[in-house]
Structure 1
Amino acid sequence: MRGGPEPCSCMLCGKLARREKAMLDGTPRGRRGRPPGSLNVVRVVDMTPKRPVGRPPGRPSGRLPGRPPGRPPGRVSARPPGRPFGSGLRPILDREGAPDVFKMAVMRLKERGFLDEGIKETGSMDWRAERTALDEYIEQLGMQPSYIPRPGEVVLWIPDYEGELAWNQESRCIQIYSPDQDRWLGTPEWRAGIIGQTPEEDTVLQDLVKTVPKKWGANYSGFRVETFPDPNSHDKSYSLHYKYVHLKCIKPFNAYELFLQGTPLESLHPSIEYAMTIMSSFSLLDKYHFKGVWPDAAIYSRGIFIGTELLIVGDAVRLKPNGQYSLDEACKAVEDVMVIDEIRLELIHCVDEVKSDQLAERYQVRIAGKVYTNSAQRSNAGADGLSQQSPMKPEEVIDVFQSVGMSGYGNWYRVWRGATVEVSQNMIIGRCYDPDAMKLLYGSRSLGLDLTGVVKGREYSRQVDGRIPEGKDWFWGDFRTQTLAIDTLNGEDVGYYSEVREVRMWRANLRVLDGIADAADLRDARIPGDVGRPSTKIQSNFAEVGKTSKLVSTGLGGADASNPVSSEEVASPPNEEDSSESEEDFSLRMDQLRGGTEESEGGDYQPER
């Protein structure tokens, strides 16, 4: 670029000349890094737009007909848009971010029309942590007597008493009687409580009225009972009032009318009223199977809390009578006993909406089993009435009830010819105890002593429990602590109230256990490791000095350790004469050590006044 009349031969001018020539010829030059076909300059010669040959009129430019935008030619998709290939059914999460296995089961039921599969909540830390312990616990419940209180149950209890409980004819109530003093000691101060722990030592039948000698104290041989707080209040301070007591201090809460009769209402402990509030509530224990034919399904469980008691598969339970009965005849009206074979929650008209909080439009609990009775007349139910039912053999009674003592009630008969019967939770009164336990607890073997108390308690619960929806008779809790509305149990936070309930960390730990964790999961799992600098033995600065100074080594307290010797020196013990002549003792007595500072000869420094 010399500015002269002749063209310049420099590189810059040559590049500019080639660009101007390309613009006049209409040949576009692409910029480096820009996709082909995008123009860098606009043609000045012809500004009239033209339609390329072969393009139909009215269609926007940029793609061929029949191909969606953004997809290269030659590839035809055979899958529906909107879902990644191979992803299957997207997981549905609950409020804590864990997979909602029940909602996903409903969606699979809708897709297939029929579903019969087990329930495994592998994405839930609660489910995986309690598997082994819960299986062992339920198996243990099936082997222990039915009169022993179970964890999570609500009972009547008193801290302690000396003597025995007996009916005082004069005061018309149950009081404490002392045989040694031959006098009445007053009315027990009953309260309602939650069973938190069961004894480590075996419990026998005699413990119902008098504690037999135990090897350990009450904290190992007794039950931990916590006073029941108000389920309708945020104040749960009553949970802090607990004690370890023996079985004689505990009675079934369903029989509260029997033990509290004659006691004025103003004298009752507030926890009694609080416990009656939850008598119309239930929650399932260990939901293990899902089965259904669209649009209905059922969730099977191994146990159910009804009011104050826990019932499991295999328990013998007493059923309410169907006919009308008076309060005076209630104790004699109960004749049927069912052995539970199946517990299920039925889902009527399942809801397949992913965003819906409900699994179905309507729910109902059904408890199935075979029914037995002591009444020969009642055994004709379901029969043709012409043939008389024969009583069961003793070995059949033992096989059915899994208890030798049930023969103490007398003859047993099958009802409905041994067919399986289904009832709702409202038809169940409570567990059926052995006749010997009934005699020690109530002084009678009648099966209906607590019938009126259970019926009145459920009616009271439906009036005062604010958690029961309008128009419903029962409150359904997802878990027992929610049904009881407690924050703590055994001194530990429970349920959603627990401060250690960090679901994000739990999910990360589950992925680590399953071997599918990534870097983010390892960080969220908070797995403890070797933190900080590797531990090394720190050697004192005086260690080397201690090898040559007897005084320093004595002060360090490790002269032998700081001045090790070889194995040869250890193998040959020194001669006493040689050691006395060769070794010099440089150690000083305490009175020979100088004190103070260097300002005084004797070490007694006297500052100027």
Structure 2
Amino acid sequence: MVHIINWSNFRSDGDPAEYTTKQRSTDIARLLANTVRAVNSDPYIKQTYGSVSFTSFPPGYAVCRKPRPKEPSKQDPYIFGNPKGSYSSAVLFAPHVVSIIRGNGSCSCTNCGPNGSTSNIESTPNAIHDDMEPAFPPTPMDVDDDEFPVNTNIDEDGTPNVLTQLLDRAWAGEHFGQAIAETGSMHWLLENEAAEFPDYLKRVKRTPRWQFRLGEVVLVARNLKPGDKLRMDDATGILKIFSRAYGPIGLPIWEAAVVTQLYPKSFGIGILDQHGDSQGTAFDGYRVEPVSEIGTNNKLWSTRYQVVDPLNMRPFSHWRELIDNADLNDPNACHPTVRHAMLAMSSVSGVGRYHFTANGQEARLYFKGVYIGAEFLTQGDVVRFSSPQHLNSFGNDVLHIKHMYLYAGLDRDTEPKGFHLQGIGYTVDRAHAHGNFQRPVPVEELPFRSMRGYGLWYKMSADDTIVRVNYARVLTRLGEDNYMKIMVKHSHTKVASGGGATHMGMPDHVIDLTYGLEGVVAAREHSSKFDPRIDRSIGETFYLADDRVEQLDLQLINGHDVGQKARFGFDSAPQPLQEAHLKSMFRARAARPKAPAPAPKKSAEYEFTEKEMEFAEAFMDKYEAGYTQRQTEGDFDEFISEAAEDEKFKEHMAENMAKADDILSRL
């Protein structure tokens, strides 16, 4: 049973004079629902009524908007009416509401004090109340649970907003953890089925970590002719363009581009053999689109896409070594696309939310992947990071990622504060090792055997202790040692202690872990200063984006106009919602040339297709009409059931599927 509170049976101390000059808010549904939830968590309410509900605040109380002290342009809802002060959240207001329901004048809210009482009703000149003595306990009207008002946490299209519902529970002080499955959301279904994001994640985990991923910003050399290859000139130690006929013929021009389609099939490190005989044709590689300028509508660079051989690509973190310490203040020191990409290096966005937790003080939203600057990171990756506990940790410490989450405090300012990555820490600096792990970790116990090429590794914590790293301290993904040996031949150093560790399976020469890290730091400093989206006036140094499209300020992907509301991260809804956009943007499909035009259809097949399309369109019109007319989740379930049981529809589909099978068998 849910007991409906009739405020006419209670004396309220609310005073309208407290808000007559303030801007009233009409959007009170969430705050009201949170207040009801918080009131129901009070022991007195549970013991006396079980649960209660009310459709308005106590008389004399209203929600008004109030500017933030540090950001006057942003306003938050506050509850006004108590002469002793306003309330910034439902959790703070709930004890005062309970005191009004109890009617004993005792209140422990933040305004009245733990030993205080509610405002004197009789002495409050403008208080709204009647002369009726409050019943104790009152006799509210009883209703069944299924008659409770419909949940207001729905999107504009009528889809339940699961995240908002979870946040409401967190704001109400509830401690819980819950998996996120938005099967009632068309957006979620498109992300997981049309966009094939789960399958893509599985592919990422199966492929070597040096291989580039969808949405990553990379350096590409496009000024090569068919047959030319990039190769290190052993005589000078400089990367040059080599022609099969003439040898070294010039230097590469490095541009920054976004990976929008992947390599056609799986491949290994052998494809990067700089002295091999492969031609590296124009149709062999990743499709990349040059990075356009952030903050403008000029996105012409992205239309100049090209399919690039992986041998002619490098991680964006290598820009400083490859472009010879380019001065970012000099517009002619590097390609315009590199300068465009620099602006996004101090930015972050999450991908694939799957779990939510709250403990009363903090809420956490867990993600399956996160874009930090140029790179996409996911569970199982090993990343380099700078540890705040060690001043000399730059390039010495790595994290084997177990979890990634966005966190936010449950106070008035509920804006997300950033990402944390959790995992097991490893270090090549013995001084950073945990006291019980002063001996090197055997190769077979490392997350990846390919880490051995970087030296001897030590654990930074006990076996079951998780290391937590702030996203701003995460530097780059750690690639396999054989990739770095091919790409960066000259960055090997002799093992300092003992001249090698053959018994541990380590090589005598190890790869410099700091290669490329100075470029990451310089790019982020530049981004923090010049990215127009970062509010430096309040101390921000990173831009927290909703998705990859917003993070890179993209408008075109694979030739599709995705606009500001679509995304390259599988995680928020394009407006208008177009399945074609999702399929073309996010499917981990091969990068390949345009397919030849299909042969003309035979007349019978064409008539069948037209008939089938007409029926499909009519059915979708009926479906959309029913979908938009629903009022509750029960109505929607009933509509879906009726559509599924439509005998005419099933018969029609069975008939046409048989025709389709017959046509396919004759092709």
Shift of 1:175: 3.2
Q: Which residue of 2 aligns with 1:203?
A: 267
CA distances 1:189-238 after superposition (whole Å, capped 9, x unpaired):
2111000000122222132354967899654x410000111111111111
Matched residue type, 1:391 = P
Q: Which residue of 2 aligns with 1:437?
A: 483
Decide which of 384, 389, 413 is 2:438's aligned counterpart.
389
8 A Cα contact 1:349 1:362, kept in partner: no
Residues 97 and 234 of structure 1, relative CA distance in 2, 3 Å threshold: farther
Matched residue type, 1:176 = I
Q: Which residue of 2 aligns with 1:137?
A: 200
1:374 and 2:454 correspond: no
Residues 388 and 362 of structure 1, relative CA distance in 2, 3 Å threshold: closer
8 A Cα contact 2:171 2:410, kept in partner: no
Give the secondary structure class of the aligned counterpart of 1:149. Answer: coil
1:337 and 2:401 correspond: no
Mean alpha-carbon deviation: is it higher for 110-119 or for 99-108? 110-119
Residues 117 and 255 of structure 1, relative CA distance in 2, 3 Å threshold: same
Q: Which residue of 1 aligns with 2:102?
A: none
Shift of 1:334: 1.4
8 A Cα contact 2:385 2:394, kept in partner: no
Q: Which residue of 2 aligns with 1:517?
A: 639
Decide which of 267, 275, 279 is 2:341's aligned counterpart.
275
Shift of 1:448: 0.9
Q: Distance in 2 between matches of 1:448 and 1:104?
A: 44
Q: Which residue of 2 aligns with 1:448?
A: 514
8 A Cα contact 2:356 2:366, kept in partner: yes
CA distances 1:280-338 after superposition (whole Å, capped 9, x unpaired):
0000010101111224211111110000000001100011254556xxxxxx9411111
Decide which of 433, 443, 454 is 1:409's aligned counterpart.
454
Matched residue type, 2:266 = D
Matched residue type, 2:422 = A
Residues 349 and 79 of structure 1, relative CA distance in 2, 3 Å threshold: same
Decide which of 472, 475, 488 is 2:543's aligned counterpart.
475
1:86 and 2:208 correspond: no
Matched residue type, 1:428 = V
1:248 and 2:311 correspond: yes
Q: Distance in 2 between matches of 1:215 and 1:510?
A: 54
- TM-score normalized with structure 1 length: 0.62
Shift of 1:151: 0.4
- TM-score normalized with structure 2 length: 0.57
Equivalenced residue count is 427
Shift of 1:364: 2.8
Q: Distance in 1 between matches of 2:403 and 2:419?
A: 11
8 A Cα contact 1:123 1:510, kept in partner: no
Q: Which residue of 2 aligns with 1:285?
A: 351
Residues 215 and 91 of structure 1, relative CA distance in 2, 3 Å threshold: farther
Residues 113 and 372 of structure 1, relative CA distance in 2, 3 Å threshold: same
8 A Cα contact 1:153 1:195, kept in partner: yes
Shift of 1:165: 3.3
Q: Distance in 2 between matches of 1:508 and 1:343?
A: 40
Shift of 1:169: 7.9
Q: Distance in 1 between matches of 2:410 and 2:417?
A: 9
Q: Distance in 1 between matches of 2:437 and 2:299?
A: 57
Q: Distance in 2 between matches of 1:104 and 1:207?
A: 49
Residues 320 and 111 of structure 1, relative CA distance in 2, 3 Å threshold: closer
Max Rg structure:
1
Q: Distance in 1 between matches of 2:348 and 2:278?
A: 35
8 A Cα contact 2:230 2:239, kept in partner: no
Give the secondary structure class of the aligned counterpart of 1:166. Answer: strand
Q: Distance in 1 between matches of 2:529 and 2:200?
A: 35
Give the secondary structure class of the aligned counterpart of 2:405. Answer: strand
Tell me, which stretches of 5 or more residues in structure 1 are unaligned?
1-65, 67-75, 326-331, 352-357, 531-609
Residues 366 and 108 of structure 1, relative CA distance in 2, 3 Å threshold: same
Tell me, which stretches of 5 or more residues in structure 2 are unaligned?
1-131, 133-138, 492-510, 567-573, 580-619, 653-667
Matched residue type, 2:240 = Q
Mean alpha-carbon deviation: is it higher for 124-133 or for 296-305? 124-133
Give the secondary structure class of the aligned counterpart of 1:304. Answer: strand
Q: Which residue of 2 aligns with 1:73?
A: none
Q: Distance in 2 between matches of 1:291 and 1:261?
A: 46
Residues 145 and 160 of structure 1, relative CA distance in 2, 3 Å threshold: farther
Q: Distance in 2 between matches of 1:134 and 1:429?
A: 25
Shift of 1:142: 0.9
8 A Cα contact 1:317 1:430, kept in partner: yes
CA distances 1:397-433 after superposition (whole Å, capped 9, x unpaired):
2xx23xx322233332211233211010111111001
Decide which of 241, 246, 257 is 1:176's aligned counterpart.
241
Q: Which residue of 2 aligns with 1:457?
A: 523
Give the secondary structure class of the aligned counterpart of 1:416. Answer: coil
8 A Cα contact 1:296 1:347, kept in partner: yes
1:128 and 2:189 correspond: yes
Matched residue type, 2:164 = K
Shift of 1:378: 2.9
Decide which of 562, 567, 581 is 1:494's aligned counterpart.
562
CA distances 1:93-132 after superposition (whole Å, capped 9, x unpaired):
3466543322211212344622211112334322111214
Query: Aligned runs of 1:49-128 on 2, under 5 Å?
Result: 78-79=141-142, 86-87=147-148, 90-94=151-155, 98-111=159-172, 113-128=174-189
Give the secondary structure class of the aligned counterpart of 1:284. Answer: strand
8 A Cα contact 1:164 1:209, kept in partner: no
Q: Distance in 1 between matches of 2:513 and 2:643?
A: 57
Query: Aligned runs of 1:2-81 on 2, under 5 Å?
Result: 78-79=141-142
Decide which of 463, 468, 473 is 1:422's aligned counterpart.
468
Shift of 1:84: 9.5
Q: Distance in 1 between matches of 2:141 and 2:357?
A: 33
Percent of residue pairs identical: 25
1:157 and 2:220 correspond: yes
8 A Cα contact 2:269 2:483, kept in partner: yes
Give the secondary structure class of the aligned counterpart of 1:157. Answer: strand
Q: Distance in 2 between matches of 1:276 and 1:224?
A: 21
Q: Distance in 2 between matches of 1:454 and 1:377?
A: 25
Residues 249 and 337 of structure 1, relative CA distance in 2, 3 Å threshold: same
8 A Cα contact 2:259 2:289, kept in partner: yes
Residues 268 and 169 of structure 1, relative CA distance in 2, 3 Å threshold: farther
Matched residue type, 2:213 = R
Give the secondary structure class of the aligned counterpart of 2:524. Answer: helix
Give the secondary structure class of the aligned counterpart of 1:371. Answer: strand
Shift of 1:481: 0.9
Give the secondary structure class of the aligned counterpart of 1:122. Answer: coil
Residues 246 and 96 of structure 1, relative CA distance in 2, 3 Å threshold: farther
Q: Distance in 2 between matches of 1:110 and 1:517?
A: 34
CA distances 1:514-566 after superposition (whole Å, capped 9, x unpaired):
754389999xxxx9x99xxxxxxxxxxxxxxxxxxxxxxxxxxxxxxxxxxxx
Mean alpha-carbon deviation: is it higher for 231-240 or for 204-213? 204-213
8 A Cα contact 1:211 1:246, kept in partner: no
Runs of 4+ in 1 over 4 A off after TM superposition: 94-97, 167-170, 177-180, 211-218, 262-265, 321-325, 497-500, 502-515, 518-522
